Amino acid sequence: MNTNYIPALAPPPKGIARVLRFVLRASWITAWFCTKLVFSIIYHFFAGLSQIGQISEKDIETHYAQKEWDRIVAGNRPRDGMWPM
């Protein structure tokens, strides 16, 4: 074993070693961005899933208002007590 080896005097890395050295020096930044990206993707995926099949109250009101208006325009207003919700 060579005990005289001093890493500071080693030649600079080449090729993939150079890339790895750069990435590992900035690994905390890389880890932070990757973590943020992964959690953002997961969050938005489940947020999108929760929207599937949901009808908002405004959509329901708009639907019934349109049906009611169509009846009025057609001249056949429903009898008392027959109005939709």
pLDDT digits (tens, 9 = 90+) for 33-54: 889 999 999 998 888 877 776 7
pTM over 0.75: no
Instruction: Flag whether 59 is in a domain.
Output: yes
**Integer Cα distance of 70 and 83 in angstroms:** 13
Instruction: Flag whether 4 is in a domain.
Output: no
Domain that holds residue 74: 55-85
What is the pLDDT at residue 22?
80
**Integer Cα distance of 32 and 39 in angstroms:** 11
**Integer Cα distance of 22 and 20 in angstroms:** 5
Instruction: Flag whether 5 is in a domain.
Output: no
Quick check: 1 pLDDT over 60?
A: no
What is the pLDDT at residue 74?
72
Give the total number of structural domains in the chain.
Answer: 2
Instruction: Flag whether 35 is in a domain.
Output: yes
Q: Are residues 45 and 66 in the same domain?
A: no
Token pair of 27 as six digits:
């690994």
Instruction: Flag whether 3 is in a domain.
Output: no
Q: Are residues 25 and 45 in the same domain?
A: yes
Tens-digit pLDDT profile for residues 50-81 = 777 677 777 777 878 888 777 777 766 656 65
